Amino acid sequence: LPFTRDCTALTSRTGAGNNTSKATMSGHDHDRIDGAAIADDSGATEPELKRRRLLDAGGPIEDDETARQKMRDAKVAEENYGERTGFDPDDVRGLRYAKVRLVDEMSAMTYFAGKGDLPMMRWLYVNGADARDDGTRMGSYFPMYGAAFGGHLEACKWLYDHGAAKDIKRRTRWLDVSPLFATFDEPNQLDLSSWLILRGALCKDDDSGNLDLGLLRTDLGPYLDYGPDSRHRLLKWANGHNRTREVFLAFLMGTHSAPPEYSLSALRKLLLKRLLSEEATNQILESLSSEQYRKLWDNIVHAKQRTRPVNTLSGSSGVLETIGGFLGILLGREARIIRQLTEMLPELNKELDQQHAEVNRKLDQQHAEFNNKFDQQH
């Protein structure tokens, strides 16, 4: 209850009174927020919805006065190709025309996601904006794409957790490219591109965790300036994770070599190793029948297996997972994705590198022909 009262007070400071946003959420709008941790809004008032979103915002929120000024100052929209105007602070889901890189319309959420401004994104969210807001016509940007294009990993994570999880595979309307494609078209974005891949950006739509070869060819394709370097860095990263996982599994399984096949001489060697006494070994063997020899052999072998780390550490729930997580070991679906990358990328890299070289060769040829023609005319 004290926390609820504090949130209520904070809500009043970030949007109550004359500055309260006019934006509301209909039932349809709420359905669009897949995965957001917000309760059913049926019958809820706007202040109640704002309080719920305030609890779910996930971090510091821009103060109301600063946020409203940022909305007005956003340099996104062009009026008469001259004066540039921002967004209406009272319409957090409104769109502005933006003649930037083939973007037709842009929402405030997309604009601030492209800048990686998390406090501002949270302010928009609390006041009714959708983490999936985009233009209604041929807009090239949506928030997840804008954040990825700007190289803002934390903004992508926030969007993913607040309703835009499916947008990691969403494609722009004009160029038909994905957020992952945007990261591969820029240098030094391995952290962001690998995060998208581990969340399923290259997976099939059947939730199997299997990679889609068609997506690999398009999103890591030959037309990217930094594509070859990015692809080879990705393969190196995947190989590193795969090797670490294999070493961890080898540790869990133990380093003992497989025991020799059963024989009386092999049993004698095992007893000698344990008892360190030939006399005691002979006494045991002389007191047992031939059938009991095999039972003794099995007991000794099984006892060795029980001392392996995988058996010793698995007595408590979650111990192995905790150790693996601490060491950065990828498990489950993520491990399958990594393994498939190590298997598929080597050949795919050769194929796409050849295509990339061919694309560059044609471009160089066209450029040379243009220069020759230009020189002849002048």
**For the chain, domain boundaries:** 1-176
Q: DSSP character for 222? A: T
Confidence at 38, pLDDT banded by 50, 70, 90 = very low
Instruction: Count Cβ atoms below 10 Å from residue 1 Cβ, excluding itself.
Output: 5
pTM of the entire predicted model = 0.68
Whether the Cβ atoms of residue 132 and residue 164 lie closer than 8 Å to each other: yes
The residue with greater pLDDT, 32 or 125, is: 125
For residue 222, what are the contacts with CB-CB under 8 A and spacing of at least 6? 352, 353, 355, 356, 358, 359
Decide which of 193 and 308 is more confident.
Answer: 193
Q: What is the DSSP letter of 164?
A: B
Are 90 and 193 in contact, with CB atoms under 8 Å apart? no
Q: What is the pLDDT of residue 35?
A: 36
User: Contact 131/143 with Cβ under 8 angstroms?
Assistant: yes
| DSSP letter, residue 307 | T
Cβ atoms within 10 Å, residue 161: 15
Mean pLDDT of the residues in the chain:
77
Where in 132-254 does DSSP place strands (E)?
none
Give dist(CA 89, CA 68) in Å, integer: 5
For residue range 259-294, what is the model confidence (pLDDT) as tens digits? 568 888 888 888 888 777 888 888 888 888 888 888
User: Range with the lowest mean pLDDT among 121-130, 161-170, 180-189, 296-305?
Assistant: 296-305
Residue 52's closest CA among 20, 19, 28, 30? 30
Element (H, E) at 79: strand 77-79
Sequence-distant (≥ 6) Cβ neighbours of residue 7 within 8 angstroms: 51, 54, 55
